[in-house]
Amino acid sequence: MDALVDELLLARGVPRDDLARHRDPKIRDFLPDPSCFADMDKGAKRLADAIQQRETIAIFGDYDVDGATSAALLTLLLRRLGVEPIVYIPDRLMEGYGPSGKALVELKKRGASVAVCVDCGAQAFEALQEAKSAGLDVIVVDHHQCASLLPVAVALINPNRLDESEHGAAHGHLAAVGMAFLLGVALVRELRGRGLFEAHAEPMMLDLLDLVALGTVADVARLKSLNRAFVTQGLRVMAARQNIGLSALSEAARLVKPPTCRDLGFALGPRINAGGRVGKSDLGVRLLTCTDPEEARTIAAELDRLNEERRAIEMLIFEQAEAQAKQQDGPVITVMSSGWHQGVIGIVAGRLKECFGRPVIVIAEKEDGTGKGSGRSISGVDLGAAVLAAKDSGLLAAGGGHAMAAGLTLPPGGLDRFRKFIDERLAADVEKSRSDRALLLDALLAPGGVAGGLCDALDCAGPYGAGWPKPRIAAGPVRLLRTGIVGDGHVRGIGCGDDGKSFKWIAFRSAATPLGEALLSAPADQRWWLAGSIRRDEWNGGNAAEMHVDDAALA
């Protein structure tokens, strides 16, 4: 099994002479010197000055999970350093994405002398200029695409700055919460050098890795190198349930076992997001920084309720957007309609991307004719850069993002021109990405090989997620027995080999697809190869392995 783990690591790009470090990724083995990032030392020194001089510090965060975890991480760290910051999370519908000059000036009026913008600010030229004019020092901690010209700030910490060092730019895949953690490391080091911890206990940064793991996975950041160490160690911290808010949220999500990457992405993340999408934008930060277990349970229950409301809204918009998408055959699907809730269009874009295998932009048209859009991309297609180019070309009032996701503001009547621009710019990349599609397999097994022991071995090369795909295996030849439709259009059955060994399989949401139809109509004596990932089926207390089928082929 150790050899299998090594093969999985090699297949995901790990050099053979670096296998030992990647088998059990630890923070100390991957953490860079924070000083390698432009402006990191400037930001740490300004915060250290503010702490020692007892200045009021404000944290301005985005309303998604990455923003919430970034803001919560810095809030908890500052508390341990004796400072209670002002936390400001903008309302998605009323204020939109990123810092506004009005909000930053208001923070100054409330007594703040320095503000840290997390997961936003890389394109906030006017807002940051207003803050400077008002006498507010701003530190930006972001990871979104930057233009060649940067907004004015005391420090702009972003590995995707065009003038970033080679070492810093190598960490461009980090989520904002990862960059916030690195700022925390630099801040603690700066204060240590000033002798602050000679009389006071030094805060433990590693205790905050549960927040880093949650933000990294929920933001679909690539799980390579440092991110993989963040998530590996963060899951271990989260299993101890030290964070009162996360513990309450796990109870609300009915998670009784130690969390997995899937739990972060599909159970905890969506509930944190629900506050910013259809409820109060600051609920996520309030939960993650909560010190009262009863209050935490109340907030977690509210987020759970809002998540159910979000799902209902999302389902309705998805059906309408899907109908539009089916009428488009361009490289990028761009759909727009009035009445769509801005809080869920990003999720709808992600679902459509999975359905159509193309980048998707979903735009909610407002009463004044402008459109708020959110896009999701496919591997090899940099959507954030394309949206930024459209903005620079005058086609968008605002826009930006990163390779796999972007946001934008469309002026009235601008849909056709924007659609033409984005199609032409990304056509070649989309064609190449789609032509390169192949079902890459990590192992070929006899039916009896689909077993719990193999699941355990495969887990050793995890955690898996964006940029670090879960192993895919093919098993067969098998005959398909007891096939049928369950749940929301899932097709499941049993694959039985000629030697009598068998395994359970399920193809999610496939009943109306060519794959599902082929599996349902297969004659009993027909033999197949099934390909997909395997995991333990813990439904109703079970523990056997089952395959989640991605594709099938006649043997």
Query: Is residue 15's pLDDT more than 80?
Result: yes
**pLDDT at residue 457 in the model:** 86
Which domains can be identified in the chain, with CATH numbers? 32-302 (3.90.1640.30), 326-435 (3.10.310.30), 443-554 (2.40.50.140)
**pLDDT at residue 543 in the model:** 61
337 by DSSP, 3-state: which? strand
Tokens representing 297 are: 């349970």
**pLDDT at residue 199 in the model:** 87
pTM across the whole model: 0.88
Average pLDDT over residues 498-517: 93
Rounded Cα distance, 273 and 307, in Å: 8
DSSP 68: H
Closest CA to 341 of 369, 362, 370, 368: 362
Rounded Cα distance, 279 and 188, in Å: 35
Query: Is residue 540's pLDDT more than 70?
Result: no
Given a contact cutoff of 8 angstroms between Cβ atoms, the answer to whether 26 and 233 are in contact is yes
Give the strand pairing for 473-486 and 527-537: antiparallel
Query: What does the angle CA 484 – CA 485 – CA 488 come to, to the nearest 5 degrees?
Result: 165
The band of 541, judged by pLDDT with boundaries at 50, 70 and 90, is low
Tokens representing 263 are: 């739990």
Average pLDDT, the chain: 94
Rounded Cα distance, 412 and 336, in Å: 12
106 by DSSP, 3-state: which? helix
Rounded Cα distance, 126 and 65, in Å: 25
Rounded Cα distance, 202 and 192, in Å: 8
**pLDDT at residue 542 in the model:** 55
Query: Is residue 92's pLDDT more than 60?
Result: yes
Given a contact cutoff of 8 angstroms between Cβ atoms, the answer to whether 376 and 353 are in contact is yes
Query: Is residue 538's pLDDT more than 80?
Result: no
DSSP 264: I
Given a contact cutoff of 8 angstroms between Cβ atoms, the answer to whether 81 and 203 are in contact is yes
N-terminal to C-terminal alpha carbon distance within the chain: 27
Q: Mind listing the pLDDT tens digit for each residue in 453-479? A: 888 889 889 999 988 999 999 999 999
Query: What does the angle CA 466 – CA 468 – CA 474 come to, to the nearest 5 degrees?
Result: 110
**pLDDT at residue 89 in the model:** 96
The band of 276, judged by pLDDT with boundaries at 50, 70 and 90, is confident
Q: Which stretches of 310-359 are assigned E, i.e. beta strand?
A: 333-338
Rounded Cα distance, 243 and 357, in Å: 38
Given a contact cutoff of 8 angstroms between Cβ atoms, the answer to whether 162 and 143 are in contact is no
Q: Mind listing the pLDDT tens digit for each residue in 316-325? A: 999 999 999 9
86 by DSSP, 3-state: which? strand
Q: Which residues of 430-443 are buried (b: 16+ CB within 10 A; e: fewer)?
A: beebeeeeeeeebb
Cα torsion angle, 375, 377, 383, 384, sign = positive
**Residue 291: φ, ψ to 5°:** -115, -10
Closest CA to 451 of 352, 349, 544: 544
| Whole-Å CA distances, 443 to 348, 410, 465, 470, 473 | 33, 46, 19, 12, 5
The band of 279, judged by pLDDT with boundaries at 50, 70 and 90, is confident
The helix (run of H) or strand (run of E) holding residue 534 is strand 527-537
Cα torsion angle, 210, 211, 214, 215, sign = negative
The band of 539, judged by pLDDT with boundaries at 50, 70 and 90, is low
Average pLDDT over residues 256-269: 93
